[in-house]
Amino acid sequence: MTRLRTLATLTLVLLLAGCNFPGINPGATTPPPIPEETLPPIRLPSATEGPVLPPPPALPEETILILEPGPGSRLVGSIHIAGMADPTFEQFLGIRIILDDGSVAAQTSATIQADWGNRGPFAVDVPITVSGERNAFIQVFSDSPRDGGITHLNSVGVILAESGPVNIAPASPHPEDIVITLPASGATVSGGMAHVEGIGIASFEQTLVISIQNAEGTTIATVPVIVGAPDWGVSGPFGADIPYSVTVEQPGRIVVSDPSMVFVGESHLASVEVNLAP
């Protein structure tokens, strides 16, 4: 009996003094806390965070840049057309002024004022007469010495007036509207299927038109393609596989154009020269 009392007394002493021993707390209902320095840092996600996207590719400057007149300019009498352009065959540029009914009001040319093979300025004055006030489309383009087809084209919409104030809207340098990344210039396209990729801006329903032209400049295939841009007026990628048919290998051209919403013809056009094989 004495032994049992001694064990009970010892147990009670240990229970009452348990808090003096590291790691023993008989009254605790939760494990001892972990020191703060051993806890991993907590990082709350930001509501604005998203996937890290690669930066968009750097686009070259507009191949044919129209600096005067700017879009929406009101012009009376002679039109002064000026800008910068990449080198062309014999540094030649064609110029057309198209009225809102599709008729050509004037057609002339300009020369790039730079040594052959260099980008440089161009300028020309085009006299024109209209009755009342008309919407018009100024196109500046380069063409191919091989077949005479248009290889690049840029345009600007203006207002032509019989009289009244002249208002020249500002224009500034900007990246190329249509860049063809595949196929590369001089590449051979074969197998009856041309894969075309690029980056562009489409003015109507995000739609561009891809065409394949043969050695004579005849269009042998055409398909529309949607630009993957988040909004109107913003560049985005495009791509398509275009079936075609030729019987012999020959020079050809891949053309990507942006049809005008208002005028007959293209508001922008870019192209690459290729070899077409069966």
Domains located in the chain, CATH noted:
56-174 (2.60.40.2550), 177-278 (2.60.40.2550)
Predicted confidence at residue 55, as pLDDT, reads 54
- Give percent above pLDDT 90 in the chain: 72
> Which one is predicted more confidently, 44 or 116?
116
Closest CA to 218 of 196, 244, 242, 184: 244
| pLDDT tens, position by position, 87-139 | 999 999 999 999 999 899 999 999 999 999 999 999 999 999 999 999 999 99
44-56 in b/e burial notation, b at 16+ Cβ within 10 A?
eeeeeeeeeeeee
Q: How far apart are CA 160 and CA 108, in angstroms?
A: 17
pLDDT at position 165 over 60: yes
Predicted confidence at residue 97, as pLDDT, reads 96
Tell me which DSSP letter residue 40 carries. P
| pLDDT tens, position by position, 179-237 | 999 999 999 999 999 999 999 999 888 999 999 999 999 999 999 999 999 888 889 99
Cα within 13 Å of Cα(121), Cβ side: 6
Q: Is the pTM of this model over 0.85?
A: no
